[in-house]
């Protein structure tokens, strides 16, 4: 595994860890927790692309990143879940936009599901990088 890939995975792991801490310790920070889940997934996907020598584009769009991966190999990543998580990325940090799901601020239960999905993506990517 390339050092740059390792670095991206380390940063993704940190985002995932922050999400777990936030949802466990503070009910009012669920929007921040899902934002970090989105960031973690984005970094795992980019790590895979870097390992495959695919130049990164400036995007936070999980659907686009997964599409780039699918051009190489279909990893079986659930597009419907990516669509939901893709909604939480925002270009700005203004009130009313920060890390919201389509229906507003996520519940702890929703965040826990998204954290599990981020872990699922991590496992898929790490398994692929072992090959």
Residue 104's beta-bridge partner residues? Answer: 101
Task: Let me know: does 23 contact 5? Beta carbons within 8 Å.
Answer: no
Q: What confidence score (pLDDT) does residue 6 get?
A: 96
Dihedral angle computed from the Cα positions of residues 39, 41, 42 and 43, in that order, rounded to the nearest 10 degrees: 90
Q: Which residues of 55-64 are buried (b: 16+ CB within 10 A; e: fewer)?
A: eeeeeeebee
Query: What is the mean pLDDT, run by run of 10 residues, along the chain of 131 residues?
Result: 95 96 81 91 97 93 96 94 79 50 75 94 95 64
Q: What confidence score (pLDDT) does residue 90 get?
A: 56
Q: Rounded to two decimals, what is the model's pTM? A: 0.89
Q: What is the fold of 3-130?
A: 1.20.120
């Amino acid at each position: 595994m390339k050092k740059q890939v390792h670095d991206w995975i380390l940063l993704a792991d940190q985002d995932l860890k922050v999400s777990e801490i936030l949802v466990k310790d503070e009910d009012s920070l669920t929007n921040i927790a899902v934002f970090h889940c989105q960031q973690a997934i984005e970094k795992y996907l980019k790590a895979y692309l870097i390992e495959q020598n695919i130049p990164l584009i400036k995007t936070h769009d999980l659907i686009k990143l997964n599409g780039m991966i699918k051009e190489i190999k279909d990893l079986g990543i659930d597009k419907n879940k990516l669509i939901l998580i893709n909604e939480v990325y925002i270009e700005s940090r203004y009130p009313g936009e920060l890390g919201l799901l389509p229906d507003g601020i996520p519940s702890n239960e929703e965040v826990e599901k998204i954290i599990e999905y981020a872990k699922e993506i991590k496992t898929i990517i790490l398994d692929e990088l072992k090959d």
